[in-house]
Each structure stands twice: as structure tokens, then as C-alpha cells.
Amino acid sequence: MSHPQDEVHRHSLSDPSSFWAHQAEHLYWHKKPNSILTQTTKSLKSETEHPHWEWFAGGEISTCYNCVDRHVLAGHGHQPAVYYDSPVTGTKRTITYAQLLDEVEVLAGVLREEGVGKGDVVLVYMPMIPAALIGILAINRLGALHAVVFGGFAAASLAQRIEASRPVAILTASCGIDGAKGPMSYQPFIREAVALTKHKPSRVLVWQREQLRWGRLEKAKGERNWFKLVRSARARGVRAECVPVGASEGVYIIYTSGTTGTPKGVVRDAGGHAVGLHLSISYLFGVHGPGDCIFTASDIGWVVGHSYILYAPLLTGAATVLFEGKPVGTPDSSTFWRIIRDYKVTSLFTAPTALRAIKRDDPENKFLKRIGEDGGLNSLKALFLAGERSEPSIITMYQELLQKYGAPGATVIDNWWSSESGSPISGISLVPHAGKDRKTEARDHRPLGVKPGSAGKAMPGFDVRVVDDEGTELERGKMGNIVMAIPLAPTGFRTLWEDEERFHKGYLKRFDGKWLDTGDAGMIDADGYISIMSRSDDLINTAGHRLSTGAIEQAITSHPLVAEASVIPIPDALKGQLPFAFVTLSVPDHPSSAVPDSKLAEEIQKQVRSQIGGIATLGGIIQGKGMIPKTRSGKTLRRVLRELVENAVHGEFEKEVQWPATIEDLAVIEVARAKVAEYFRVKGRTHRAIEERAKL
């Protein structure tokens, strides 16, 4: 007998119209769709054609209504909607659905008076505070689109996004607080960005924070005090009702990270976004409504924050934790476990990098065990991981801890997705029954088994395949390019903001429109479990063998002393490339030397050789703490490390490297640079460049 998750997925692909029609019935439509799925061909200006599709054509929906009004009208206004927890300011606040509706109605009225209307874009540059969520919902309430930019992005990157989206207004705050670093003023970023752009938003609404205030507002340039506008509107009884939009109209634009060129604006459809997220929060995450609470330890600037801090929990009427802090240092590595205890969190969603940071600071899990032994984690049903590849050692360790301290049957679930997909492409469904009957109380069918190192099986509507470089599908167990058949599930994007040609070139052209290219490499095993090994451009070619950086990292981190590893290719005169590792150890007093002792190095090499094979033997190992650069969403920036090492091979230790605007901490690059230089002073003779290059 097949598992319910397999049956649900099969139904979603074999008869997508009936499957998604059933899911759409759970939401309120201002106008019911005429059809569920329409498939056509789109012609571009270049005369290229590519497959096109549309979900819920003819339907009209308000996501804000479904997130807020609907629950208040159903009598759930007293239920908690948002738990705001800010250890960096010492602030806690609970916002009920009725309170949220009140604040969103008034702010939407303010925005309407300030010139925001249906179809307009409003840019949001905010810290993790309640005003940010209220602002996004108010924008949506008017039928406008929001473009959230991570608070703290440099002015040049922010200016790019203003130029690209042409917002009529900007919502911002006087400052953000990045962990223990103290307040950071947003005023210079906003003013410089606006000065750099040809497009000038007519309004900039500023939420003043007491930790660091915005200076004198420049009213001639449209700067306004957010709080004063709201106070005036409330006194005058100004409020705004929901404005429904067409199902295929945009609900938001989110810009994907990149090092150069104009940012890519992924556009999310209103109807598919609401329907797909409403299914996933119950089906995958086990969050069904009042009484459930999800803590998504991300930021609203990332797609994870859009989907699972804000929209999905509120669509189902559950509570969401809005967290302003870090997994370590605010004040220590007990923070996540304390939040689970304080708000009776049922699902935690974070990135492996956060767990590595916690493991590094608390290798014996003393904080988790202390809170767990007091019963503080017994509400937690699952720990979800995404954003980068999860090594099996992390999954296994937390699986054992959850089984001891979490809710009965608690599990660790890896899942894989992207800004483009909008919701997980793969994972293990915590409540597979919800794919058939969302309201059933019979939740007795156990989830599929977890395979450490795998990101689970495909989620409803995503038809995932593995193909070679010519687009020919490979047999199970073979590594290749991960692609998806068209159409994507309803949460998936269908275009880029005002750039259909770039959408075709970036995602469809490589495989002639037959497959949508994810840019990831990996495999699907005989049971249908998907393993994402690396980005397609992170493969290492050693003497004609294609090796995955992710697979080698998995082998390295299976060593009990290794907390984190990043593998890159290093040029080699004999084999073309060799895998080269940066490792951080899980010991309280990290060794200062960049060169690991010979015993540890040989043990790591043995792990790699035994799990991958002799061909994967490492060309070198650099050890150090705080030297692996990451984006703010937790992705390792291998290309930065790769550039540092390639420069070092040629003796160019001080040469500048390219880094993306999404980098979390620029100082890490200099730590890595120093470690690379130290390593090459000792071991440099063992690494010979394939060819000399001109010193420019």
C-alpha cells in the first residue's frame, strides 16, 4: 500500500485541476476562478516561444482578507497572530488577530491617502518589528505589490531595487539592530539610495525607534513620520477595506541575490501564492490553525520570511513568532530553545547554519538539554531545515535530541526550495492526510522515513527530474542537473518583473523549454528521495570525475570534531582540480593555526576516502573559526573562498574578490584571507598553478 504523501503527489501531477480546485475551496474568493489550470505558449519580442501557464484564471482574491479579516469574522479575533520577541531590545509583545486587523486597516487607510493604489509597488526596508508585518499586510490590503529589501542592504544595492521596481512609496524605520552590534541607522542608506536613482518615490514613511531615531525629516522629499500619520488617520476614522486582485496578478516582487548586473525580480501570483501556502503550512509543517505556533528563524527580506513568518501561518489562523535577534549572542545559544518554551512552538524552521553556530558555541547541547529536561520543548513536533544543504551529522544529532525532549514522534525534516518556487519543492510531509482532507482529525499515519542527507520527496505540484547536460532524463541514483517539468506548483513563479526575455534565458532556454532549470545538481534515489548535492557550478572536475562539493562536505562533517565545512575546487597542475576544504571545529577553544594537526587531517581524509572514494582525496584543509562567508539567509559563499584560493595559488594574496550584496558579514572575508595566506606560507609549495596568469 502506498504512503499518503506519494498518493497526494501522484494526484497533484495526474489531475492538477481537481487537486488544486479542492485546495482553493479552503480560502475565500471575492470571485471564483473560471478555470483552475490554463496551459498556453507565450511569444516573446525576440520571436522565441516558450510554454506558459496560469492558475485560477478569472478568480479574484485578497490575501490580506484571508490572512486577517476571515479569522476575525470566524470568531477567532482573540487568538494570538504574532508573538514579537526581541532580545536585542528586551521587548516582547503579543498581537491578536483583532488587534492586527485594527492596525492594518488604519495603516492601509494612511497609505491610500499617501497615494498608494491597486497595482502600485511599495518598497519595504524594515527590521524585524511588528510594523514591518503590518506594513506588508496594509500594502496587500490595497491591492498593491510589496518589494521587501533586507534591512541593512547597502545603498547601491537598495538603489538598484528602487530603480527596478519603481515604488510609489518606501516603508522604513529609523534603525535596525544586527545582533549584539547595536543600532544601525537606516537614514543614510535610504537617502543615498534615493539620491542615486532616477526614480524618486513620492513618499518615505519612517517608523521611529527609540534605540536610534531618524534625524529631521525632509518633508520636501516626501519623508513622513509613520506614527503621526497613523494617529491622525485613527482620530479621523480613516480605514481601508480589502481590494481584491486577479488571481494571476502579482502579490509581491522578491529580488534574488547575485554579484553583478541588475537584480532579478521574482513575481508571485496572488491566487497561487495563497492556495499553495495554505496547503503547505498544514501538509508539510503540521500547522493547522489556532493553538499551533511556528517559529521561522529567518528574515522578512528572504522568501522564507515572506512565506512562513508572515503569510502561511496567518492564512491558516495560527500564531507566528517574529524574532529580532540571532541564534547565538542575543544573549547566548539558548535563545531558540527559550523561544520554543515561551510560546509553545509546534514547528521550528531554520537554516543549518544557525544550528552549526549553536553547536559551535554549545557543543554538548547543555542549553537545549536544560530546557528540555524542564519540559520546555515538549510542544515541538518538528525541526525543519532549509536554505542550504544539511549534513547528516546535524540531522542525526538533533533527531536524537528531539526524540528525547520534543513532542511524541518529533522529527527533523530537511526541505529544499528557492525564491523562484515560493514554497518547498521537496520535504517530508508532517501531516500527509492534509493533502486529501485538510480538516480531518485523523492524523495517525506516520510521516515517511527521513533519510539524512536527502531533502525528502517532491511536494504537491512539483514534478522534479534529473537530466544530463543535453536534457535527457537519467536513471534513478545518477547525479545530474535537477530540473522541473512545467507547470510549476501554484506558488512557483511564472516570470520575472518586467523581464520575460530574462526569464526565458535564465530558466527555460538551456533545455529548450522542456524543463525549467533550477541551477542545482543532485540525484533522486530508487525510492524517490531527492538529494541536492550542490549548485550546478559547484561541481569539481578531478581527472575527468565530476565530484559534488555537497557530498564531500557531508563526509567531512561526519567527523565528530567538525562543526562546519565548505569545499571548493583548487587548481591542480596534474588533475585539473582538487577538492579543498575549509573546516570549523566544534570545540570551545578553537586551534589558532590555519593548518590542522596531522592526526585530524588524516582522520578527515579517511572519512572522505571511505564515503566518496580515493578520487575525492582533499588537496588541502584550512581550519579556522569565523572564516566561512555566508549570505544573510545562510547560504555559504563558496565562490568567495574559491576566488581567495585561486588568487593564493598565483601568489596574489591581497587581490580583491567579488562578494554579493547579500553577504552577512564582510569581515569574514578578511578572516578567510588571513587564514588562506597563513596556510599557503606553510603548504604553498604543494599547490602548483595550471598556468601562470598575467598580473594586472
Higher-scoring residue by pLDDT: 631, 144: 144
In a domain? residue 389: no
691 three-state secondary structure: coil
693 has a pLDDT exceeding 60: no
C-alpha cell at 486: 512545467
Closest CA to 495 of 193, 266, 207, 204: 266
Give tens-digit pLDDT for 430-468: 999 899 888 777 666 789 999 988 999 999 999 999 999
Given a contact cutoff of 8 angstroms between Cβ atoms, the answer to whether 446 and 409 are in contact is yes
Please say if the pLDDT value at position 569 is more than 60: yes
Q: Which residue has the higher pLDDT, 689 or 589?
A: 589
Q: Measured between alpha carbons, how far is 346 from 348 in angstroms, rounded to an integer?
A: 7
Mean model confidence pLDDT for the chain: 92
Q: Are 114 and 225 in contact (CB under 8 A)?
A: no
- Block residue for cell numbers 549584539: 180
All cell numbers assigned to 380: 515541538
Q: What pTM does this model have?
A: 0.84
For 369, what's the count of Cα atoms within 13 Å in the CB-facing half-sphere? 8
DSSP state of 446: P
Q: Which three cell numbers stand for residue 323?
A: 524574532
Answer whether residue 571 shows pLDDT above 50.
yes
The strand pairing partners of 42, in sequence order, are 50
Q: Is 514 exposed, middle or buried (CB count within 10 Å of its CB: 0-12, 13-18, 19+)? A: middle
| Inside any domain, residue 503 | no
Grid cell digits, residue 101: 486587523
| Number of residues written out for the chain | 696
- Residue 40 included in any domain: no
Indicate the pLDDT class of residue 403, thresholds 50, 70 and 90.
very high
Is 530 in contact with 426 (CB distance < 8 Å)? yes
CATH code, domain carrying 663: 3.30.300.30
Contact 13, 528 (CB under 8 A): no
CA distances from 180 to 177, 329, 450, 618, 685 (A): 8, 6, 36, 37, 41
Q: Say if residue 395's pLDDT is above 80.
A: yes
Asked whether residue 440 is assigned to any structural domain, the reply reads no
All three cell numbers of 408: 511524541
Q: Dihedral sign, CA of 30, 31, 37, 40?
A: negative
In the chain, how many domains are there?
1
Question: Is residue 257 scored above 60 in pLDDT?
Answer: no
Q: Look at residue 513 and tell me if it is in a domain.
A: no
Instruction: Give the tens place of pLDDT for each residue, 291-308.
Output: 999 999 999 988 999 999
Q: Is 130 a domain residue?
A: no
Q: Return the sign of the alpha-carbon dihedral for residues 603, 604, 610, 614.
A: negative
Q: How sure is the predictor about 77, in pLDDT bands with cuts at 50, 70 and 90?
A: very high
Q: Does 554 fall in a domain?
A: yes
> Which amino acid would we find at residue 532?
I
- If one compares 664 and 82, the residue with the highest pLDDT of the two is 82
Coil/strand/helix, residue 171 = strand
Contact 282, 301 (CB under 8 A): no
Which of 536 and 498 is assigned the larger pLDDT? 498
Which of 109-113, 300-304, 524-528 is predicted with the least confidence, judged by mean pLDDT? 300-304
Mean pLDDT of 108-119: 98
* Whether residue 398 has pLDDT greater than 80: yes
**Nine-digit cell at 222?**
516626501
Question: Grid coordinates standing for 458?
Answer: 517532491
Query: Which structural domain range is residue 602 located in?
Result: 539-685
- Would the CA dihedral through 462, 289, 133, 230 be positive or negative? positive
Tens of pLDDT, residue by residue over 644-687, are: 998 998 889 999 988 877 788 889 999 999 999 999 999 877 77
Mean pLDDT of 226-242: 98
Would you tell me the crossing angle of helices 392-405 and 549-557 to the nearest 10 degrees? Answer: 50
411-414 vs 382-385, strand pairing mode: parallel
692 — pLDDT class (breaks 50, 70, 90): very low
- Cis peptide leading into 331, omega within 30 of 0? yes
Vertex 392: Cα angle to 386 and 394 (nearest 5): 70
Q: What is the pLDDT of residue 2?
A: 86
Map residue 586 onto helix, strand or coil. coil
Q: Which tens digits make up the pLDDT trace of 121-137? A: 999 999 999 999 999 99
User: Is the confidence at residue 413, as pLDDT, over 90?
Assistant: yes
Pairing relation of β-strands 121-125 and 169-173?
A: parallel
Residue 428, pLDDT above cutoff 90: yes
Considering only 244-253, 260-269, 503-512, 555-564, which range has the smallest mean pLDDT?
260-269
d(C-alpha 161, C-alpha 145), whole Å: 14
Kindly state the DSSP code that residue 263 receives in the 8-state scheme. P
Contacts of 498 (CB under 8 A, 6+ apart): 265
Residue 624: φ, ψ to 5°: 175, 165
Please state, in angstroms and rounded to a whole number, the distance separating the CA atoms of residues 271 and 282. 18
Whether residue 695 is predicted with pLDDT greater than 60 in this model: the reply is no
- Torsions phi, psi for 526 (to 5 deg): -60, -25
In three-state secondary structure terms, 222 is coil
**Cα 192 to chain centroid, rounded:** 28
In this predicted structure, the answer to whether residue 489 has a pLDDT above a threshold of 60 is yes
Q: Pairing relation of β-strands 60-61 and 80-86? A: unpaired
Write down the pLDDT at residue 544.
57
For the chain, what percent of residues have pLDDT higher than 70? 95
Q: What is the pLDDT of residue 663?
A: 83
Question: Do 107 and 142 touch, CB atoms closer than 8 A?
Answer: no
Q: Is 46 exposed, middle or buried (0-12, 13-18, 19+ CB in 10 A)?
A: exposed
- Show the DSSP H helices in 478-536 as ranges: 500-503
Q: What percent of the chain has pLDDT over 90?
A: 74
Which tens digits make up the pLDDT trace of 588-615? 889 999 999 999 999 999 999 877 777 7
pLDDT, tens only, 150-207: 887 778 888 989 999 999 999 999 999 988 888 999 999 999 999 999 999 999 999 9
Lowest mean pLDDT among 46-50, 228-232, 461-465: 46-50
Residue 599: inside a domain: yes
Higher pLDDT, residue 355 or 142:
142
d(CA 500, CA 519): 18
Task: Provide the grid cell at 195.
Answer: 539620491
- Check whether 260 has a pLDDT greater than 50: no
Is residue 383 scored above 60 in pLDDT? Answer: yes
